[in-house]
Structure 1
Amino acid sequence: MQGNKIVNDLNFPDTDAHDGADDHETRTQEPRLWRDDGWTARVIKNGDDDGWAVEMIKDGEAEPALVGPWTMGRDKKNPKPLDSAAFFTLVKTASEVLRRHEQQLHALLHKNIKVTSASGLLDIKLDIVPDEDNPYALLSACDEFGEQLAQVRVGTGFKLTMQSATAWIENDFKKPA
């Protein structure tokens, strides 16, 4: 079946068609569809207006990492074709969007505060475990050498602040109420 492509009503190659090659080796370079380096760029009709948009989908993901406006061609009706430089820029931008989402999620789930106590500088951490059935958080204390001094399970609503960390230390690391 190599060389044959299934085409849908919009003249886009069928994304489910597979010629048996490894997905990472599949490379498509068409005016409205590029696949390479684990990414797919697809030029689509912009549902909000008469223009065009491009979506970037990372292999294995159901949703696009990036959707943005796409330039009209010279005829002012059809989209400008994708090219190597545009694809490279789109991959870089979409990768950065994913990286920022990961950083934001990490910041939401992991917090830490440095607290000076009678026993020295302590690193107090709150790590939220987003389990679907039973989410929880772990509150832990480590000394300046990284050795864990205490760890307790707390609710996901626990707020790690300098005041709550200090109170936990002063209460001999007993589970906060």
Structure 2
Amino acid sequence: MNDTPISDTDQSENRKEQEPRLWRDDGWTARIIKNEDDDGWAVEMTLDGQAEPALVGPWTMGRDKKNPKPLDSSAFITLVKTANEVLRRHEQQLHATLHKSVKIDAAAGRLTIKLDIVPDEDEPYAVLSAYDESGEQLAEVHVAPTYKLSVQRASEWASGGFGKQG
């Protein structure tokens, strides 16, 4: 038998807590908090290791109309599903913001022009690239992260021989 004590960090990773206003399980923490905007209550869902909650929403009052309704298994499962969906949508929105593409007709045929923004903290930049119908890369240049991709700009870039863009 191993008598080595379990560290706090080991316990927190496997911690499962089920209290009326605080649940921890499956990598999530649900905490009922006082709603700062009114006299009601709110619930915040925080993913383990994150400083900010992924989801904050209104919470139901209890029967006494003063205290919050206690958390239960069904509510926690629903909150985890909702918070995961919020994170998934946020990731999709971020991806759409950082990766754009347009299709154009050029002398070389139908081309796909892509703009991929690299949000580096020190030196952000973007990569403008052109691909033919078979997916072969025809050109690539670095551009400012503020570059606005449009069909017109992509067509001008292609007709100009894929020269340097601003």
Q: TM-score scaled to structure 1, two decimals?
A: 0.85
| Identical residues among aligned pairs (%) | 69
Q: Output one character per residue of 1:61-110: Cα deviation in whole Å (capped at 9) or x when no partner.
A: 00001111111111111111101110111111111111111111111111
CA gap 1:174/1:33 in 2 versus in 1, 3 angstroms: same
After the TM superposition, which segments of 4 or more aligned residues of structure 1 sit over 6 Å from their partners? none
The runs of 5 or more residues in structure 1 that have no matched partner are: 1-16
Distance 1:160 1:48 in 2: 41
- In structure 2, relative to structure 1, the CA distance for the partners of 1:20 and 1:167 (3 Å cut) is closer
Q: What is the identity, as a one-letter code, of the residue corresponding to 1:84?
A: S
CA RMSD of aligned residues (A): 1.6
Q: Tell me, what secondary structure is at the counterpart of 2:85?
A: helix
Q: Secondary structure at the match of 2:11?
A: coil
* 1:43-58 alignment, distance < 5 Å: 43-58=32-47
2:17 is matched with which residue?
28
Q: Aligned runs of 1:141-160 on 2, under 5 Å?
A: 141-160=130-149
Question: Which residue of the other structure, out of 66, 72, 77, is the alignment partner of 1:77?
Answer: 66
What secondary structure is seen at the aligned counterpart in 1 of 2:74? Answer: helix
Q: 1:18 aligned to 2:19?
A: no
**What letter corresponds to residue 141 of structure 1 in structure 2?**
A
- Measured after TM superposition, the shift of residue 28 of structure 1 is 1.0
In structure 1, the partner of 2:159 is 170
Secondary structure (helix, strand or coil) at the match of 1:87 reads: helix
Task: Decide whether the 8 Å contact of 2:21 with 2:32 is kept in 1.
Answer: yes
Structure 1 partner of 2:82? 93
**Contact conserved, 2:18 with 2:24, CA < 8 A, in 1?**
yes
Cα separation, 1, equivalents of 2:114 and 2:70: 50
Q: What amino acid does structure 2 have at the position aligned with 1:52? A: W
- Structure 2 residue 118 is the aligned partner of structure 1 residue 129: yes
Work out which of the residue numbers 95, 111, 121 in structure 1 matches 2:100. 111
Residue identity opposite 1:165 in structure 2: A
Structure 2 residue 112 is the aligned partner of structure 1 residue 140: no
Cross-structure match for 2:4: none
- The residue that corresponds to 2:57 in the other structure is 68
User: Which amino acid is the alignment partner of residue 152 of structure 1?
Assistant: V
3-state SS in 1 of match to 2:129? strand
Superposition deviation, residue 165 in structure 1:
0.3
Task: Tell me, in whole angstroms, the C-alpha distance in 2 between the residues paired with 1:55 and 1:97.
Answer: 13
One-letter code aligned to 1:21: Q
Q: Give how far 1:118 is off.
A: 2.1
